[in-house]
């Protein structure tokens, strides 16, 4: 691990969240474009994630997509980054969390889950499961009311994320024209 990453692990801690139960909040000022962390956990295939859900080892909402059929089963502290429709971070590369703007001490650190959501629908449905969506409780003035796949965002929202490259590489490759 790089020294930068080791220092940035001290950028957040878990506290009670106004969005959903617990969330990660900044314990120091995080500057715009700063790497906050790399989301870590066990890398899994879609089939492995489905098996974990079926065996009650995983919630359907927990896997973090890093490819069309590849996921990270996030370590607990990384599961606590909540969604916001007006996020203050984005995911770059495969799993690098970057600040979109300055984040103040005590501010919850969020990203837009939709920017990582592109599910192999037929395979998930064929396995007897439903595609994961969730009512959004982020409370931002831009709240969409639902967390859903990237393709469900408005063309304006999609363009914003694509033009700024505020998405993981696999999503950029899928949606850039």
C-alpha distances (whole Å) from 134 to each of 105, 114, 165 are 28, 11, 24
pLDDT at residue 155 is higher than 80:
yes
Q: In the prediction, which pLDDT does 170 show?
A: 95
The per-residue pLDDT for range 120-144, each reduced to its tens digit, is 677 777 777 677 778 999 999 999 9
- Split at pLDDT 50, 70, 90, the class of 68 is confident
Reported pTM: 0.88
Residue 60 has pLDDT above 70, yes or no: no
Domain layout of the chain by residue ranges: 3-175
CA-to-CA distance for 66 and 137, rounded, in angstroms? 24
Fold of 3-175: Beta-clip-like (2.170.270)
**% of the chain with per-residue pLDDT over 90:** 64
Helix and strand numbers, DSSP H then E, in the chain: 6, 12
Which residue is associated with the tokens 């396995």?
127
């Amino acid at each position: 691990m790089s020294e930068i990453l080791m220092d940035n692990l001290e950028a957040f801690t878990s506290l009670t969240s106004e969005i959903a139960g617990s969330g990660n909040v900044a314990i120091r000022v995080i500057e715009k474009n700063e790497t906050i962390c790399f989301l870590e956990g066990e890398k899994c295939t879609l089939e492995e994630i489905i098996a974990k859900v079926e065996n009650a080892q995983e919630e359907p909402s927990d896997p973090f997509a890093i490819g069309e059929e590849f996921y990270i089963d996030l370590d607990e502290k990384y599961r606590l980054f909540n969604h916001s429709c007006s996020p203050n971070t984005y995911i770059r590369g495969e799993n690098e969390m970057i600040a979109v703007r300055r984040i103040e001490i005590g501010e919850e650190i969020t990203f837009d889950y939709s920017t990582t959501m592109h599910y192999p629908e037929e395979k998930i449905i064929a396995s007897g499961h439903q595609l994961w969506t969730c009512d959004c409780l982020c409370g931002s003035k831009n709240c969409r009311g639902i967390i859903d796949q990237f393709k469900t965002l408005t063309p304006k929202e999609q363009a914003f994320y694509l033009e700024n490259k505020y998405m993981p590489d696999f999503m950029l490759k899928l949606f850039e024209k």
